[in-house]
A and B are shown apart, each in its own frame.
Chain A
Amino acid sequence: MAETDRVIIVGAGHGGGAVAATLRQYGFKGTIMVIGTEPLAPYQRPPLSKAWLKGEADAASLALRPPAFYAKANIDLRLATTVTAIDTGAKTVATDTGDTFGYDWLILATGARARRLPIPGMELAGVLELRSAADADQLKAALGPGKRLAVVGGGYIGLEAAASATALGATVTVIERENRVLARVASVELSEAYQVAHRRRGVVIELSAQVAALEGVDGRITGVRLGDGRLIACDVALVGVGAVANIELAQAAGITCDLGITVDLAARTSDPSVFAIGDCTWRPLPHYGRDFRLESVPNALEQARQAAASICGRALAAPEVPWFWSDQFDLKLQIVGLNFGATHTVVRGDPATESFAVFHMTDDNHLRAVEAVNMADAFMAGRLLIAKDRKLAPAQICDMSVAMKDLTV
């Protein structure tokens, strides 16, 4: 790292904002430019489907840092600007504003975008997705007492939006193609508990339901047509069927990509001057011996620290066990680990009480993942136990008289 080093960060989201701040925290003295398509300074997305959507948090509280931070930290924020090309030979980026900027280090933090459904009616007014603050503004404006919301896709964002919309007095139907919600990302036990919890609070959930088309009158959505011919009438539809990594820019520059931009544990891409962090990356999972794409704030922050440490010549921290959280109604879900290699589950607590945890174990009882609902100690214990690759006795996990803390010593 030299005082004249120039860092350019592409994407002013959670990862982009965090890596700029972390570089300064680690003592980086060169120039930092953050270029982002969105008109807003880096902000947090998690509240968009939770506290913010319910009106419990204001827009200012979404900001990753207060507005004055960037000038004070000498970080050059270029908002409402998109990077259109990278020249890794000349070490420059070109923007849609017609500028070309040179870099010594480039950090790609381009995130992911909402997957679009190839069905008729996606262009109707009132068909929304939820990825950005602008999307969330539209959704919030469309909700309220008596409004009918159809959520296409029973993933985390869809279910969180369903819970928040219910709190706002809207009537919500969740339409899921698989035979359970959270099918791609959670265990059967967790899916079932969330189906019960949502239905108990008035959300209608349609499972194994194909969406044939979105139907409208005068260009505005009026309902979701299912494969079996039924129509779910609605005033607004939220399509939340997963996200696709923004890798095209890197691909066009000849940087190696898989389902994301391929990086190592230092967040470095196939080009030694280029790093990538966050939702856009295809990254190693050292605890699981494989590569994967993660979509979570902790992942973006871990990789932000990796990239900043690499640039500043600092030692890298030990790899974290991936983790995630989701807040729906008064259910506080914390997940640690991934269930790769797990063959059976052990449940602690009773799902009917909405306080329980699902432990995912290998054949020989090594812990791989914990899904904890209103049971923070199971989550915290899981974090330690997975990092240490410890074996656990299933009988002890189930035994509520054994404190979680005692299992970690």
Chain B
Amino acid sequence: MPHVTFIEHNGTAHTVEAVIGKSLMEAAVDNSVPGIDADCGGACACATCHVFVAPEWEAKTGTRNEAEVAMLNFAAEVKPNSRLSCQIEITAAHDGLVVHMPDGQH
């Protein structure tokens, strides 16, 4: 199973096993990574699963969909590499993926 790393705003890193076919958000929630709230459970309705994808991984995590772009536009500290982690589906190619988290999702 691919390993992915979530880095909290304070620098604490959490490397967890992700499940192929599930979302990156689920990898965080299933492993109790603090900092991903995911209030809507992946319905792309809440924007509380915001992450910054490390530049070298942007190509492998795909592009944002229309609703995701609209939601992220209003997130507290949006950056060009902002994504909603519930919209990234884990594949074998994501082993080693690194994402950073903003300072709070609410």
Contacts and interface: CB of A to CB of B under 8 A. Distances in A.
| Pairing of A with B | yes
A362 interface: no
A383 interface: yes
B54 interface: no
A320 B48 CA distance: 13
B93 interface: no
A381 interface: yes
Interface string A278-302: 0000000000000000000110010
B40 A380 contact: no
A25 B28 CA distance: 13
B41 A47 contact: yes
A49 to B, nearest CB: 12
Contact of B74 (A25, A46, A383): A383
Nearest to B30: A66
Given A21-B32, A25-B34, A66-B30, A297 B41 contact: yes
Given A66-B30, A317-B106, A408-B74, A61 B22 contact: yes
A33 B106 CA distance: 28
B70 A377 contact: yes
Nearest to B106: A317
Given A25-B32, A334-B45, A298 B22 contact: no
A376 interface: yes
A380 B48 CA distance: 12
B58 to A, nearest CB: 22
A380 B30 contact: no
Contacts of B22: 61
Contacts of B34: 25
Nearest to A327: B43
Contact of A377 (B26, B41, B45, B74): B74
B39 interface: yes
Contacts of B74: 377, 380-381, 383-384, 405, 408
Contacts of B71: 376-377, 380
A332 B70 contact: no
A25 B37 CA distance: 11
Interface in A109-147: none
Nearest to A405: B73
B47 A298 contact: no
A46 B39 contact: no
Interface in A303-348: 317, 320, 323, 325, 327, 332, 334
A320 B106 contact: yes
Interface of A: 21, 24-25, 44, 46-47, 61, 65-66, 69, 72-73, 297-298, 301, 317, 320, 323, 325, 327, 332, 334, 374-377, 380-381, 383-384, 405, 408
Given A61-B26, A376-B70, A380-B70, 15 more contacts: A47-B41, A65-B30, A65-B32, A72-B32, A297-B39, A298-B39, A301-B37, A325-B43, A325-B46, A327-B43, A376-B71, A377-B70, A380-B47, A384-B74, A405-B73
26 contacts: A25-B32, A46-B40, A46-B41, A47-B41, A65-B29, A65-B32, A66-B30, A72-B32, A297-B40, A297-B41, A298-B39, A301-B39, A317-B106, A320-B106, A325-B40, A325-B46, A327-B43, A332-B45, A332-B67, A375-B70, A376-B44, A376-B71, A377-B70, A380-B70, A380-B71, A384-B74
